[in-house]
Amino acid sequence: MFPFPITHTLLTMDPTPAPELYRQPDVAISQMDLAWRRFLDQELLGSFPETQVSSVLALMEQLRQRLGCQVKVPLTQPTVDGAIQLAWDAGRHYLDIDVFSDGTIQWFYRDRQTKELDGSPDDERIAGVSPELARRLEVVLS
């Protein structure tokens, strides 16, 4: 029926059991989340320390626990200063978090409509998820 061989399958958002590597008790993760974790393992582990990639996963878990909701898979990319950046862009609202090799973070929020800016100071790294960061991410994800 197709003039070319079908070699890829489409990822769905349906929850599926996680492979043993990522399994947490009684937790099913989406195909997108699983693909994101594979990306971290296959693409970032060669360029970043394992501890930094583990810090990204730990941060996502903290965000999920703090917000009590499903945190969407972020755009994930390296930065020029050696961080792994997680970014959520929801049109009006934008938030990114840079995760550094020592596990500390910097974050930035922008409301494009009101021009409001927020985040950690440029010269300061913080440990963990602050209440303000959690509140801003909740706005972006809503």
Q: Are 76 and 39 in contact (CB under 8 A)?
A: yes
What is the structure's pLDDT at 97? 95
Q: Are 91 and 72 in contact (CB under 8 A)?
A: no
Q: Domain map of the chain by residue range?
A: 49-141
State how far the Cα of 37 lies from the Cα of 56, in Å rounded to an integer.
10
The residues pairing with 124 across neighbouring beta strands, listed in sequence order, are none
As a CATH number, domain 49-141 is 3.10.450
User: Tens place of pLDDT for every residue, the chain, 142 residues?
Assistant: 334 343 433 344 444 444 444 444 444 557 777 888 888 887 787 788 888 988 998 998 899 888 876 788 898 989 999 999 999 999 999 999 999 999 999 999 999 999 999 999 888 898 889 999 999 999 999 8
